[in-house]
Each structure stands twice: as structure tokens, then as C-alpha cells.
Amino acid sequence: MRTAILSFLLLSFMQLIAQQTAEKFNSFPFGSIKPGGWLKAQMQEDMNGFVGNLDRIVPELINDPIYASGRLGKNSKAKDLGNLKEGDAAGDEQYKWWNSETQSNWRDGYLRNIILLNDEVDIDKVKNYVERILATQDEDGYLGIYDKEIRYKFNSENGELWSKATLYRGLLAYYEYTKDEQVFMAVERAVANVMENYPINVSSPFSSGTSFNGGVSHGLTFTDVLERMYYLTQNKKYRDYALFLYHDFSNTYQSEADAQLKNILNPDYKLKSHGVHTFEHLRALIIAKYASNDKQLDDALKIYLERIKNATTISGGAIGDEWISERNADETNTGYEYCSLQELLDSYCLLFQKSGKAEIGDAIENIFYNAAQGARNPYHSCIAYLKTDNSYEMLGTKNGEIEPGRKQTRYKYSPAHQDVAVCCNPNAGRISPYFVQNSWMKENEKTLVATLLMPNILETTLNGNKIEIENITQYPHENDFRFKIIQANRSKFTLKIRKPVWVKKIKTNEKYTIENDYIVIERDFSQNDYVDISFETDIQIKTANTGFHYFTYGALLYSLPIEAKEIDGKNYIDNLADFTYEPVEPVKYLFKEGVKINYKNGKIQTKLINQNTGKLEKAELLPIGKTILRQTSFM
């Protein structure tokens, strides 16, 4: 008996070691990496605008005491959220938990921005918020939105796990920055409460009948919390529970079923679910794969990634308008939701940390620098709920498409989008901090890796030696970098820099090698040192899956701006308002082979055929993030 127990313990230990060594990189605690340059300035503008003021823009949603005195009970009614509901899934139950998502995703992004911007004034607001939330925790550890009569006792749509996931993610980020043990212990108790009430392998948290259960499906993101708890404690019970949740999700009825294991392994299955669910569930699959040695999960991950790739446009925008509906990506006819951009970026960041594959970094940068920047309004503090690569008008519907029986308003710019749902704007506040957080990783105690390229500052230690590295750059608008290194003591370490796929030539005075598309520089660094490096590239003319041509230079996708009339909409506060855009003169352009093309002052200059006149005309293309109405692909 004793021998059997020892063998079991040895096997468990070896499995744990295998899991740990299978992961290429380690992430840093939140707050270790801060933005610099233009990215810091943009984040500050967001905090001065819609991100920092959402509580003033929609106070009735943000101030709803849904986690406290306003917890949901048996007789709770769906709240009036100010949304039109056309195009939403049927059923009022989802509207009961919506404010938890709005509040917690916004607070998550808000506190992360405050921390990364070193905002000493508003950090007190964040501290007060955390203290108020922790004060709502029950004696048994419950921290959520339901009263004692109905919590954990559902047989229909609910937001039990979803409301917790959105809340706990922000609390853990706050803990990682402050090291406030009271916050960690509160989350630890709250997670234990979930695990006690939904016991592993003998309960079914995702059983909720056979009707729409989008909130239940969203709850699979509770695995985000479990993964971060594992990161902080190295306690395998959190990953075991995440694996249990994924399998229970896979074996129950779900209205958002793309990530269920049986569907992934079915070669005839095509993605069809609500896009945000499809892309956020990728993280649960990744976590499940790394929590076990199940080859099925390894195969499933490869299949799922390929399906998502087919649903992703040239800008990195994966279909989310709002259901994928078995379509492949199209620059004109498939839109992407800002929520989808954040969720897919976050999922790819997790995969990047675990696999270390450089091409995933390219996909992440494509989402952030192209789709996400291209869905921001370059002149006002607001974002598009839905956007297309080829954006011929922004008057509510997708490029003028009329949907019978549906009043579509998502294709416009707004600081809230309350008429639809206040979900994309909170996620727009999360995307920059999450992007920054994953821009450096550690391979081991002698190797630091610049995984995503941007202006930023890393503060960490290697073997007890305090090191600060500032990446001074205008990237992606320019491709020159200075890694300024300040450390307590002279030391030898390895600096790895991801080499983007588009790089034609590397210019540096450093001795380096190339290892799996990483530039590897290993040397003694003085207390004050630097590494200068530049990437050379050229204009690339590529062909999309649709057969249309498009232009890139470095990390950026370029578009032909379309002159538009700006139409003012609802004004919320302080000139934070809705805007729609109507083209002044609708015209499309065609690609012409062999025409001279030039890159100058951040613009691509060429000639395109005016489809109306049939004549070649001079055309000046801008980065997609500097456009509103635009043509991005050309027949």
C-alpha cells in the first residue's frame, strides 16, 4: 500500500514538473511593465475621456449595488439598462446580470490604467473601490451577485461564475501590484467558496437547461481566475478545477458551443457562436490543455486555432457581428466587436506565454495595432462597437446593409453604446493594459524576452539584481528601438527580442544569434547600458482569402481614407458623444498590377483605378488606425 502511495505521489510530482517545463515563458506580476511614449499618452487620453469617465457617462449602471445591497434574488426583475434589445438573444434573464459585467470589466480596465499610469490621485479611488467590494464578502467567503436563497442553485440562465470572473480578475491585478494580502485572502476565500459549492467532478456548474444561457457560457472564463491563482500559488488544485470546468462545459447544453470538445473534434463542425464567447473560451481550452497530458486536448487546440484563423480578417479582427454563423472572414461583410478584439488578444497572450511561438506575437500586434486602433475614433474619445476592415459608412448598420426586423445601431462611435450594451467600452479600457502586461516575459533567471514591441518600461530582478529596461521607440510607426538598461549591479544576462515576421534585415552593432525568430543577445551589461536595434522592411502587397489585395508596411495595415460627413449624436457629458459618418462621395477603387508604389512620411503612395471612371488616380494610404471610413482591400 505504501509503495503504491509513493508511486502515485512520484507520478503526480513528475506530471507537475512536466506541466511546468512545457511552458516556455513566465509572465510578470501586473504592474511590472508600464507603457511609455505614444502608448502612455493614448492611455492617458482614454482616462481623460470615455475610459476614465464611464461612471459619469452611465452612472445608473456603474452605481448599481449588484454585488452588495442589490444582489439578485428569486423575485428580482430585469433592470432597464437603456438598451434597445434588437439583435440580442431572447430572454430577460441575461439582463439581470449584465450590470455585473459592465461594472467589473470597467473597474478591471480602470484600475489597471490607473496603476500603469502611476496616477497617484486616482489610486485612492481604486483603493476605496476595493475596500467597498471586500466589505460585501459574506462570512463563508461568497463574493458575488446572488442572495443566499438562489446562489449555486440554478437550472436556467445565470451569471454566477461570469460575475465572479470579471470581478476577481481586477482584484488579483490590484493584489499583484499592491501585495495587499487582505485582497489576496479575500479572493482565495471566494474561489474556495465556489469550489466548495460546485465540488470538483461531482457537480455540474454548467447545467442550466436547454434554453439560451449566454451568461452561463461566459462563466467558463472563471478559468482565468483559476489560472492566475495557480500562477500566484503554484497550487495544482486550481488547474485541476479549471480542467473540471472545461469538461463540464463540454458535456452540458450550451447555447455558445464552439469550444465544446466534441464540437472541436467534429471535422464537419463550423464556428457559429457569439464571437466573444468563441474567443474568450480559447483561454479555457489552453488552460485545460496545459493542466493535463490529454492528447485530445492538444489536437483540439490546434483545430480550434485554425478555425479562429479562418474567421479572422486581415486586420486581426475576428468575426463578432455578433454571431459567427459558419462564415469565413471577409473585409467588407464580416464585422468584429471590440469585445472580441480584447478577448482574442488576451487568449493569444496566454498561448504566447505557454508556447513561446513568435508568430503568436505577430497575431497579437496585428489585433492591437490594426483592428483595435482602427476601431477607435482618431478625433474623439469613443470607439466603434462593430467595425469592418472596409468601412464605407458608419450610420448604424454594416456598410448600409438592411436587416429586416432589426434596428442595428452598433456601427457607430460612442463613449458608451448604451443603446446596445455597455460591454465594448469597458473592454476597450482593458485592452491596452492587457497588451502592455504581456510585452515582456521571463524565460528563466538569466533571460528576459521582449515579446511584444512597444514603448514601455520593465522593472524586475534577475538573481536578486534589480533591472530596469526601457524600450524607447515610436513603434509601430517607426522600426527603431533603444533598450535602455539600468541595473543595480553589472551582470551577464540574455536579452531576447521577438523578430516580427515582416523583418527583411536587422541593423545593430550587437553580436546576436537568431533562435526560433527571436534575436538573442547574451553579454555582460554595465549598470547603465543600452541596445540599439532597427528593423528594415518594405511595402508588401498581400492577397486576402477573399482574393482582394491589401498593403502593409511593417506591423501596420494601410487603408485609403474615404472623405466623410460627421454627424453628431447623443451627447453624454463634457463633449463625450456619439458620432456617425456618411461618405461624401461613395467610390471604390481597384488594384492595378505593376503600378509604382512608394513609402514616404508614414504613408503609402500609389495609383488605384477609380471604379466609377475607370481611370488611374493617385492614392495615399494611411495606417488603418488613422482612418474612420476607408477602403482597405482592393479587387
Q: Longest Cα pair distance anywhere in the chain, in angstroms?
A: 87
**Domains observed in the chain:** 58-78+97-206+218-255 (1.50.10.20), 441-536 (2.60.40), 540-631 (no CATH)
Task: Examine residue 322 and say whether the peptide bond preceding it is cis (omega within 30 degrees of 0).
Answer: yes
* Model pLDDT for residues 209-227, shown as the tens digit of each residue: 999 999 999 999 999 999 9
87 pLDDT above the threshold of 70: no
Please provide the average confidence, as pLDDT, over all residues in the chain: 95
Q: How far apart are CA 132 and CA 170, in angstroms?
A: 14
**Encoded amino acid at 123, one letter:** I
169 pLDDT above the threshold of 80: yes
Angle between helices 424-437 and 37-48 (to 10 degrees): 150
More confident residue, 93 or 215: 215
What confidence category does residue 21 fall into, taking pLDDT thresholds of 50, 70 and 90? very low
Least confident window among 6-15, 155-164, 359-368, 524-533? 6-15
* Model pLDDT for residues 558-615, shown as the tens digit of each residue: 999 999 999 999 999 999 999 999 999 999 999 999 999 999 999 999 999 999 999 9
355 pLDDT above the threshold of 90: yes
Q: How far apart are CA 412 and CA 408, in angstroms?
A: 10
- The pLDDT, as a whole number, for residue 85 is 53
- Give phi and psi for 481, each to the nearest 5: -135, 140
520 to each of 4, 372, 458, 490, 609, how far by Cα in Å?
A: 46, 30, 18, 19, 45
pTM of the complete model: 0.95
Angle between helices 123-134 and 93-116 (to 10 degrees): 140
76 to each of 66, 124, 149, 222, 538, how far by Cα in Å?
A: 11, 33, 12, 24, 60
Cβ 547 vs Cβ 328: under 8 Å: no
Please give the average per-residue pLDDT across 311-327, as a whole number.
97
- The pLDDT, as a whole number, for residue 84 is 61
16 pLDDT above the threshold of 90: no
Task: Examine residue 476 and say whether the peptide bond preceding it is cis (omega within 30 degrees of 0).
Answer: yes
* Model pLDDT for residues 619-632, shown as the tens digit of each residue: 999 999 999 999 99
Please give the average per-residue pLDDT across 292-314, as a whole number.
97
Cβ 558 vs Cβ 343: under 8 Å: no
Please give the average per-residue pLDDT across 74-97, as a whole number.
72
* Model pLDDT for residues 240-250, shown as the tens digit of each residue: 999 999 999 99
